[in-house]
Amino acid sequence: MRDETEPKRVKGSGVKFAYETLRDEILSLDLEPGAVLDETSLAERFSMSRSPVREALIRLAGDDLVVTLSNRSTVVAPIDLQSFPKYVEALDVAQRMNTRLAAELRTDLDLKTIARRQKEFLATVSKGDHLAMSEANKNFHMAIAHAGRNPYLSAFYERLLNQGRRMLHLHFAYLEQGDGEVLLTDEHDDMLAAIRDRDVARADALAHAHTRQFRDNFISYLKQNYLKDAPIISLGPAA
């Protein structure tokens, strides 16, 4: 029997609840790459039927956060380190192009939106909430992309940002280890200033440097933690 103390869910909200809960647990690495996601167990956990759980897993697969293996089991998607150089290469191109376009085409309203997103990002940094930080970071960069007025480039960029959120989480954790690296929040301010000044060349250079900082810090993280954190940096699922 249903626990009377449990709040009633609106019809159709079960999918949203399961999806958002699992998404956040995957992005924050509470659910590690390779972790098995069993529909029956998840349905029991969320006190719902398997149908909304299955739909939530389908949505997560569309986000590249889960994969279905040949034996039909569903697992949390691996963080593919072998593809990291290609990922960063694509991220660099997308970040530079969208930032260049923003510097060229932005409106005053765009500037206000970007500035607001930066304030939201700084607020999450002060709280040290990595999941909120990665979400706010994505929102800041997507505000820039929307200012560039190219929906194809912004959609490509958003997919890359989503795919990189777990790596960004590890990037934040590495910076907190106190090995001399710091989170350069002023890079966002510099990018905003270049966009405000319509300085396309500087916006391009800052976007490139921003990607390079992420790349270098993440590689440093891997060098320090590869062996002891092998489950987190799995190269791929077992066949």
184 φ, ψ (degrees, to nearest 5): -85, 80
Sites in the chain below the pLDDT cut of 50:
1-7, 10-11, 180-181, 227-239
Domains and CATH numbers, the chain: 13-76 (1.10.10.10), 81-225 (1.20.120.530)
pTM for the full predicted model:
0.82
Beta bridge partners of 76: 66
The two tokens of residue 14 are 């079960």
| Chain segment 128-140, per-residue pLDDT in tens | 888 999 999 999 9
Residue 29 three-state SS: coil
Angle 39-46/50-62 helices, nearest 10 degrees? Answer: 110
| Chain segment 185-220, per-residue pLDDT in tens | 689 999 999 999 999 999 999 999 999 988 888 888
Nearest to 142 by CA among 159, 119, 130: 159
Q: State the pLDDT at residue 216.
A: 86
Q: Which residues of 195-215 are buried (b: 16+ CB within 10 A; e: fewer)?
A: bbeeebebbbbbbeebbeebb
Nearest to 72 by CA among 199, 228, 221, 237: 237
